């Protein structure tokens, strides 16, 4: 389920409250979305 993964990544962002970590998580999320879009 794509959305479950999105929520988990966003939860990590808010718990960290670290701009760099948040940017890294956003980059990871974009990469995963691109990867999944190629599969499906």
With a CB cutoff of 8 Å and minimum separation 6, the contacts of 2 are 33, 36
The position carrying tokens 């998580």 is 25
| pLDDT at position 40 | 62
Tens-digit pLDDT profile for residues 1-40: 455 555 565 555 555 556 777 788 788 888 888 888 887 6
Domain boundaries, the chain: 2-39
| pLDDT at position 25 | 79
Is the entire prediction scored with pTM above 0.75? no
| pLDDT at position 8 | 60
| pLDDT at position 33 | 87
């Amino acid at each position: 389920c794509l959305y479950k993964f999105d929520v988990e990544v966003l939860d990590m962002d808010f718990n960290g409250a670290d701009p760099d970590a948040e940017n890294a998580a956003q980059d990871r999320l974009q990469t995963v979305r691109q990867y999944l879009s190629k599969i499906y």
